Amino acid sequence: MKLFWTIALVLLAAACTPMQWARPDADASQLDADTRDCQVQAWNEARWRSYQYAGMYGPFLYRDSLGRPFAAWPQGPFGDPFGERFMEESRLANFCMRTKGYELQPTK
Protein backbone atom coordinates (compact mmCIF):
# COMPACT_ATOMS: atom_id res chain seq x y z
CA MET A 1 0.00 0.00 0.00
CA LYS A 2 2.91 2.32 0.73
CA LEU A 3 4.27 1.74 -2.78
CA PHE A 4 0.90 2.65 -4.30
CA TRP A 5 0.79 6.02 -2.51
CA THR A 6 4.40 6.74 -3.40
CA ILE A 7 3.76 6.12 -7.08
CA ALA A 8 0.53 8.13 -6.94
CA LEU A 9 2.36 11.06 -5.31
CA VAL A 10 5.15 10.97 -7.91
CA LEU A 11 2.63 10.91 -10.77
CA LEU A 12 0.66 13.74 -9.21
CA ALA A 13 3.81 15.85 -8.82
CA ALA A 14 4.80 15.16 -12.44
CA ALA A 15 1.36 16.28 -13.65
CA CYS A 16 1.90 19.71 -12.06
CA THR A 17 5.02 20.52 -14.08
CA PRO A 18 4.78 24.12 -15.33
CA MET A 19 5.15 24.55 -19.08
CA GLN A 20 6.60 27.47 -21.05
CA TRP A 21 6.95 28.35 -24.73
CA ALA A 22 10.53 27.99 -25.96
CA ARG A 23 12.42 28.51 -29.20
CA PRO A 24 16.21 28.11 -29.49
CA ASP A 25 16.88 31.45 -31.21
CA ALA A 26 14.46 33.61 -29.15
CA ASP A 27 15.36 35.58 -26.03
CA ALA A 28 12.98 36.58 -23.23
CA SER A 29 11.94 39.89 -24.80
CA GLN A 30 11.17 38.20 -28.13
CA LEU A 31 9.13 35.53 -26.31
CA ASP A 32 7.13 38.20 -24.47
CA ALA A 33 6.48 40.15 -27.68
CA ASP A 34 5.41 37.04 -29.61
CA THR A 35 3.20 35.84 -26.76
CA ARG A 36 1.51 39.22 -26.46
CA ASP A 37 1.03 39.43 -30.25
CA CYS A 38 -0.50 35.94 -30.43
CA GLN A 39 -2.81 36.61 -27.48
CA VAL A 40 -4.08 39.86 -29.02
CA GLN A 41 -4.68 38.22 -32.39
CA ALA A 42 -6.42 35.26 -30.76
CA TRP A 43 -8.58 37.55 -28.63
CA ASN A 44 -9.67 39.55 -31.67
CA GLU A 45 -10.44 36.45 -33.74
CA ALA A 46 -12.31 34.68 -30.92
CA ARG A 47 -14.32 37.81 -30.15
CA TRP A 48 -15.25 38.16 -33.81
CA ARG A 49 -16.61 34.60 -33.95
CA SER A 50 -18.20 34.39 -30.51
CA TYR A 51 -21.89 34.44 -29.72
CA GLN A 52 -21.41 37.62 -27.68
CA TYR A 53 -20.55 39.45 -30.89
CA ALA A 54 -23.74 38.16 -32.51
CA GLY A 55 -25.57 39.12 -29.31
CA MET A 56 -25.93 42.67 -30.54
CA TYR A 57 -28.67 41.37 -32.83
CA GLY A 58 -30.51 39.83 -29.93
CA PRO A 59 -32.03 36.38 -29.77
CA PHE A 60 -33.66 34.86 -32.82
CA LEU A 61 -37.35 34.15 -32.45
CA TYR A 62 -38.50 30.73 -33.55
CA ARG A 63 -41.67 28.70 -33.25
CA ASP A 64 -41.76 25.12 -32.03
CA SER A 65 -43.83 22.36 -33.64
CA LEU A 66 -46.94 23.49 -31.73
CA GLY A 67 -46.55 27.11 -32.86
CA ARG A 68 -45.39 28.50 -29.53
CA PRO A 69 -42.73 31.24 -29.85
CA PHE A 70 -39.34 30.88 -28.15
CA ALA A 71 -36.07 32.80 -28.27
CA ALA A 72 -32.74 31.19 -29.14
CA TRP A 73 -29.30 32.69 -29.43
CA PRO A 74 -27.47 32.24 -32.77
CA GLN A 75 -24.79 30.01 -31.26
CA GLY A 76 -25.40 28.14 -28.07
CA PRO A 77 -23.57 25.53 -26.10
CA PHE A 78 -25.29 22.86 -28.22
CA GLY A 79 -24.93 24.59 -31.57
CA ASP A 80 -21.17 24.85 -31.99
CA PRO A 81 -18.61 22.64 -30.24
CA PHE A 82 -16.00 25.37 -30.69
CA GLY A 83 -18.39 28.16 -29.72
CA GLU A 84 -16.93 28.72 -26.27
CA ARG A 85 -14.91 31.90 -26.70
CA PHE A 86 -12.17 31.34 -24.13
CA MET A 87 -11.35 27.83 -25.32
CA GLU A 88 -11.26 29.05 -28.92
CA GLU A 89 -8.98 31.92 -27.89
CA SER A 90 -6.60 29.49 -26.20
CA ARG A 91 -6.52 27.21 -29.25
CA LEU A 92 -5.84 30.14 -31.57
CA ALA A 93 -3.05 31.52 -29.36
CA ASN A 94 -1.40 28.08 -29.17
CA PHE A 95 -1.64 27.70 -32.94
CA CYS A 96 -0.07 31.13 -33.45
CA MET A 97 2.85 30.33 -31.13
CA ARG A 98 3.47 27.02 -32.89
CA THR A 99 3.48 28.70 -36.31
CA LYS A 100 6.13 31.10 -35.01
CA GLY A 101 8.33 28.10 -34.20
CA TYR A 102 7.78 27.81 -30.44
CA GLU A 103 7.20 24.56 -28.56
CA LEU A 104 5.80 23.98 -25.09
CA GLN A 105 8.52 22.65 -22.79
CA PRO A 106 8.74 22.11 -19.03
CA THR A 107 10.36 25.03 -17.22
CA LYS A 108 13.76 24.44 -15.72
**Cα–Cα separations (whole angstroms), residue 6 to 9, 15, 17, 56:** 5, 14, 17, 54
Q: Supply the pLDDT for residue 28.
A: 92
* Residue, of 69 and 26, whose pLDDT is higher: 26
pLDDT tens profile 67-107: 777 666 555 555 555 567 788 899 999 999 999 999 999 88
Residue 77, pLDDT score: 52
Average of per-residue pLDDT across 25-51: 89
- Least Cα distance to 21 among 97, 99, 108 occurs for 97
Q: What's the pLDDT tens digit per position in 43-63? A: 998 887 665 555 455 556 667
